[in-house]
A = this chain, B = another copy of it.
Amino acid sequence: MNFQKLIKEFKKKGYKLTPQRRLILEILSKEKHISAEEIFERIKQSQPNVSFGTVYRNLNILLELGLINQLDFKDGRTRFELNKSHHHHLICLDCGVAFEIQVCPFNSEIFRAADSQDFSIENHSFEIYGYCRNCKYNKTKKLDGKEEQQS
């Protein structure tokens, strides 16, 4: 099971398994693209005294261990996701919905470009920003409205 594997990985690295950590891992393994605040709110339901510090500290540990990735949704809040199968995202600039796409464009040409600078690659981000079906529709409606007001 993915969740059990995570916990094992965590303990193997010498970290203690606290109830808060267990919950964070549990939440992450259920949700994609979750923010620190959302994690905080979820944990509070069963651990009312949890603090933001705990959430951030552990997310940073998970990042260092390479077990999670962070995503930039361009709305000021970092999102986190389990580092499962490699994928990228279509991110709506209006409502923030994110679709995963399985195709990764990393290719040997890019690797060579990095290599020619003697640059050692740790990871990469490839995110496509735009508008989902719903927001595209709403945008069109809004624009129509404005034009009517102007004329």
Instruction: Please give the residue numbers on chain A whose beta carbons come within 8 Å of chain B beta carbons, in ascending order.
Output: 70, 72, 74, 90, 92-93, 99, 101-103, 105-107, 109-110, 113-114, 117-133, 136
Contact = CB atoms under 8 A, between A and B. Distances in A.
How many copies altogether?
2
Nearest to A90: B119
A119 B103 contact: no
A117 to B, nearest CB: 5
Contacts of A90: 113-114, 117, 119
Nearest to A123: B129
B124 A129 contact: yes
Complex A-B, nearest 6 residue pairs according to Cβ-Cβ distance, in ascending order? A105-B105, A118-B133, A121-B130, A122-B130, A101-B113, A124-B128
